[in-house]
Structures are given as structure tokens and as C-alpha cells.
Amino acid sequence: MLTKRTAHFAVALALLAWFVGFAGAQSVLPPSPVRSNDNSDRIQRIEKNTAVISLGENKAPLKLSLHELMDKFNVPGLSIAVIDNFQIVWVKAYGVIGAGSKTPVTPKTLFQAGSISKPVTAAAALSMVEAGKLSLDQNVNDQLKSWKVPDSEFTQTQKVTLRRLMSHTAGLTIHGFPGYDVDAPLPTVVQVLNGEKPANTAAVRVDAIPGTKAVYSGGGVTIEQLLMTDVSGKPFPALLRETVLDKIGMSNSSYEQPLPPARAAATAWGTYVNGKPVHGKWHIYPEMAAAGLWTTPTDLAHFAIEIALSKNGKSNRILSQKMTNEMLTPVLDTVGLGFFSRKG
């Protein structure tokens, strides 16, 4: 979980456990503290056979242990949280916080969550919708104050709306963001959206009729970020703490970019695929809604459990059951509001 690749790997394990638990659950239980009893055999099985790779017909599959998999992909360390039947059943950390470090990863080590920032942001935006502060289907230009989506031939009949921003159906450009070196000047969100220096990406613009197709756009989620801060008048990290993080006990999570020193001291370092450490330990993302979340698998598991319980009408600490179901309902193809779904 020390690069964008490994961050997605460990956090995805937490989400995978949620979906497995959700699909197989016979009852819905309230959240509880982490249970680690009677899990040693289960943990050892996972550690021993983490990856089973087919080598073709009539050939024995290649089996890799967790540590072998980490070595193969130059992953210095990672952290795992496993969910079963809507509860965190075990958490465990492996390795060190960065290449060359002797500091071990712990379950409280913070990692950059990358694009998993988006569904947490979506939950915050939908809480503002339920509070009557944002509209899902109104032209976002009606509420944006510090910047407007430029009109074009594509926006003559259909407009950019919050629902379309969250579902990647707004016809917007810019798939993702590379982040900024710790020594590089940082752009404002408006400079990012306009592609103006010191931004390192092109302008975010509508290049397809909104609502006609789903095309992944971190640029669109950055407009979502600006909409939320323009309307609330609050800095984005504070807004997300108020609407999501504090409500469900995600105490080891933050959207602050860069992190303050106390939190920065508890982070894992970035590592490239070849094992080389990232200069300055990590990149900084002013595009917080799209890629700015620092978190732990345990905190992210709390979020996953809350959404699953809310879908079943068993919790409403962030959203109502009705709004959660709308969040998880595809708008076009398999894209919901901040989440992607998969049939079968």
C-alpha cells in the first residue's frame, strides 16, 4: 500500500472483504470493535496462498505467499482490514513504511487512497443534498461561485449536474492527476480546472454532450470539490471531516494536502513499481476530492460497513437508506454516484 498501485491493493482487499461479507450475510449486525479471536488459521491460509496464478492447461498453478507477492512487486509494506458479515474481523500490517526504512507498518499507518477518495467524497456531497444545500440535477453553474463550467456546443441542450459529475457522465475531460512533488508550487483548484500554471494537467472541459456516455473523469470530481466548498464556505478537509469522517469514527483519515507534521509522521512512503522511493516520500494532491484521501484500511472498512448497513436500513449516520440506494444505483452503464457496480 506504499504506491498508488499498492495503496489500491491493500484498500481493495478491505473493499473486497466488504462485498464478500455483504453478499454472504444472513443477518445485519451493528458495527463492533475489531475481532481477532479464532482467526489465526484463517490469516495463515491467506498469507500462505495470497495469489494463485494459472499457468495454463495441464500445468500446476503458481502459488505466491503474501511476502512473495510483496517481493515480486517491490512493496515495502501494506496493511489489511477484513470484513465479514458487516464487521471488521481482523486487521494486520506487514513490512515497513518505505524502502530503506526500519519503521514497521501498523494498522494505524496512513496510506494515500488514490481514487478511493471519490466514493467518500460522494457520500459527503449526497449528505449536502439531503440537507438541501446541493441539488443533484440542477446546472452546477447555478451554484458555483469562484468558477463556471465553460459553455460550449456540447452544453447547449444538456448541462453539467452533480449527479453527472459523480457518475462520470458529465462529458468532462481529464481522467486522473499525477500529483505534485513536495518541492513544486501548488495550483489552486481554479488553476487546475483551467489548466493554468503551475497546474500539471490540461484544462477540464466538456467534450461530449452531458448524460450521453460514461467516461471516467477526475476532472469532473474536482468540479464537485469546488461546488462543495463554494456552497459550504468551508475548506474541503474540514467539510469532509464534518460530513463523513467524524460521524463514523474515521479518526486516522484526512483530506489535508499536504498533511500537517503530526499526521505526516504516521504515513507510509510512496514507492514506484521498480522499488525506487518517491522524492519527498509522496506527492501532494490539491485535487482532494478525486485523489486526496489519506486513510487506513480499518477506517475505510468503517466507511464500507456504514454504506452497507445504510443500504439495509440499519444505519443513517451519513445518509438515509433512500439516498444510499440512490448512490448505489447505476446512472449509466455500471456507474453509480461515486461507486461502480458490477452485475453477477
Examine residue 49 and state whether it is found in any structural domain, yes or no.
yes
CATH number at residue 307: 3.40.710.10
Helix (H, G, I), strand (E, B) or coil at 115: helix
φ and ψ of 248, to 5 deg? -125, 20
Side-chain half-sphere CA neighbours of 105 within 13 A: 27
Nearest to 308 by CA among 297, 318, 298: 318
Examine residue 255 and state whether it is found in any structural domain, yes or no.
yes
pLDDT at 58 over 90: no
Average pLDDT over residues 295-321: 97
Tens of pLDDT along 17-55?
333 333 333 333 344 445 545 688 889 988 998 888 888
Tens of pLDDT along 87-113?
999 999 999 999 999 999 999 999 999
Q: Are 307 and 324 in contact (CB under 8 A)?
A: yes
Examine residue 296 and state whether it is found in any structural domain, yes or no.
yes
Separation CA 147–CA 226 (nearest Å):
8
Q: Which residue's C-alpha cell is 522511493?
A: 277
Examine residue 332 and state whether it is found in any structural domain, yes or no.
no
Examine residue 54 and state whether it is found in any structural domain, yes or no.
yes
- Per-residue confidence at 215, pLDDT binned at 50, 70, 90? very high
Per-residue model confidence (pLDDT) at position 15: 41
Number of structural domains, the chain? 1
State what percent of residues in the chain have pLDDT above 70. Answer: 88
Separation CA 97–CA 43 (nearest Å):
21
Per-position b or e across 311-322, b if 16+ CB within 10 A of its CB: beebbeebbeee
Q: Are 228 and 120 in contact (CB under 8 A)?
A: no
Q: Are 168 and 216 in contact (CB under 8 A)?
A: yes
Q: Which residue's C-alpha cell is 517491490?
A: 74
Cis preceding-peptide flag for 330 (omega within 30 of 0): no
**Residue 224 structural domain:** 4-327
- Per-residue confidence at 139, pLDDT binned at 50, 70, 90? very high
Per-residue model confidence (pLDDT) at position 55: 83
Q: 3-class secondary structure for 25-88?
A: CCCCCCCCCCCCCCCHHHHHHHHHCCEEECCCCCCCCEEECHHHHHHHCCCCEEEEEEEECCEE
Cα angle 220, 223, 226 (rounded to 5 degrees) comes to 160
Examine residue 273 and state whether it is found in any structural domain, yes or no.
yes
Name the least confident of 55-69, 81-95, 128-142, 320-334: 55-69
Examine residue 343 and state whether it is found in any structural domain, yes or no.
no
Examine residue 339 and state whether it is found in any structural domain, yes or no.
no
Tens of pLDDT along 263-284?
999 999 999 999 999 999 999 9
The per-residue pLDDT of the chain, averaged, comes to 89
Better-scored residue on pLDDT, 42 or 114: 114
Helix (H, G, I), strand (E, B) or coil at 1: coil
For residue 114, CA distances in Å to 78, 86, 268, 290 come to 15, 24, 13, 7
